[in-house]
Each structure stands twice: as structure tokens, then as C-alpha cells.
Amino acid sequence: MSDYLTIANRAYPSRLFMGTGGYPNHQVLLDSLAAAEPALVTVSIRRISLDPYSGSLIDLLGNHYTLLPNTAGCSTVKDAVLTARLAREALATDLIKLELIGDRETLYPDVEHLLQATDELVADGFTVLPYCNEDPVTCRKLADRGAAAVMPLGSPIGSGLGIVNPFAIERIVATSSVPVILDAGIGTASDAAFAMELGCDGVLLNTAIAKARDPARMAGAMKGAVTAGRAARLAGRIPKRTHGEPSSPELGLIGG
């Protein structure tokens, strides 16, 4: 039975999103994408050429993957909105991953600017997926402003720390009216599986694959982890106990 991820009335067969930065070369990126089969592939509009020419990232990916342009590097509402509009014109998509960084050391979002930019972009017809902090209140406000999904961080971008505040992520999942995509901080496959077990609808990652010793193999591991974590969430884990409980009946034991 299919278990598609739906965002803004668009259905995706995968719940894994991948970034495209930091790979040794384009071939390693392509091999990793082929292994992961992600739903969406993010591209930083400020860091790539938008002209489709032979060998460009847009040319390599555009016909094979659904692109999710992002506003990485933006720190003002004006810059983020302008970047989103450039992406829409160049790539013919209303999808935008909204990033507005408020602190250059931790790369945490600027919540005030994020809310303002979401208002402007939603009013302008964009399907907005905002990268945000792991705060249920912020996530609720973004959804109320029309965000198609919320993308709380697990830990700082590129840190590999995994999910440092699982209780907050669980709370976001429990109270969100839109899909929750865990974004940032994933270090290995078990982190991705844990995000799905917490109830996230998907996982976005980049560095964990791009900087792995074998990126394509790690990409395949992430694909399997997201699938396994989702299946475990739907199956339902057993309760945690402070004592042992035998799985076999104790009646009829020899010498009993």
C-alpha cells in the first residue's frame, strides 16, 4: 500500500529530501541522488547559475528531480523575497524553501523575519516551506500564515548532532496542522530513522551524505532509514518498562 507524502496537494512517493551542496563533484552528487531517490532536491539560488547549459547543476538535475529552490544565505526579508522570485522565474516553480538566518555562528533562523517573509511569499502565490527553530509556537504561527509545511531543525546545520531536543519535535508533530519535515543536524542513518519514529513526515539532509566517506552508500542508508522509521512509527513501538517481561509463558516450566 502506498504511503505518499502530500504537501500542498502534491503527492511524493519518497519522504526523503536532499541538498546538493558540499559534494566533491557532480558525479558523486548524481550517484548519491540515484541511491536515495529523494522526493525533492534543494538548490541554493544564491550559489548556482540559473542558466541551463550543458554541465550546469540545473541542466543535470532539472529533468530528473523535482527541484526545491532555497533562500540560503539570506538574512533580510527583502533578500529572501527577491531570491524566491528569481527562482520562480528561472525554474518555473512556486516551491520555495525559506531560510532567513539570524545568527551566523549557529545558523539559527531569525523568527521575526521568517514570519514576515512567509506572509509576503504566501500572498504572492508561493508554496512556502520554512526552515525554523524547534519551537512549537513558531511552527504554529508559520502554519497559520499559510506555510505548506514546517521544517524545524534537529540541531544546527551541518553539526551532525542529530536530534538534540526530541521532546520539542514530538510536540511540534502533535500540534502541527501541516507536514513536519525534520531539517538540519542529521549525522547518520539512525538519526533519520529516529526523526520518523518521532512522527515527522519527512527528513531533509545534506551534509550527512555529502561529507560521508562513501556518499552514495550513505544515501542508500538514509533512504532505508526513513522508510524503516516511518514503518516503525505506523506499527507502534512497545511501551518502555523499568523491569523485564518474558516473551514466553511461565506456566508449564519443567520443575514448576
Nearest to 88 by CA among 113, 109, 67: 67
* Contact criterion met (CB below 8 Å) for 160 and 207: yes
Beta-ladder partners of 130: 98
Query: Number of C-alpha atoms within 13 angstroms, CB side, residue 227?
Result: 13
Helices 189-197 and 215-235, axial angle in degrees (round to 10): 20
**Residue that the C-alpha cell 553539526 belongs to:** 159
The conformational region for residue 244 under phi > 0 = left, psi -120 to 50 = alpha, else beta, is beta
Residue 141 is among the residues annotated as catalytic for this protein: no
Q: Which of 78, 97, 141, 223 is catalytic?
A: 97
- Sheet of 202-205, strands arranged across: 151-152, 127-132, 95-98, 67-70, 40-44, 16-18, 202-205, 181-183
Q: How far apart are CA 75 and CA 109, in angstroms?
A: 9
* Contact criterion met (CB below 8 Å) for 185 and 164: yes
DSSP strand pairing (16-18 vs 10-12)? unpaired
Catalytic residues: 97
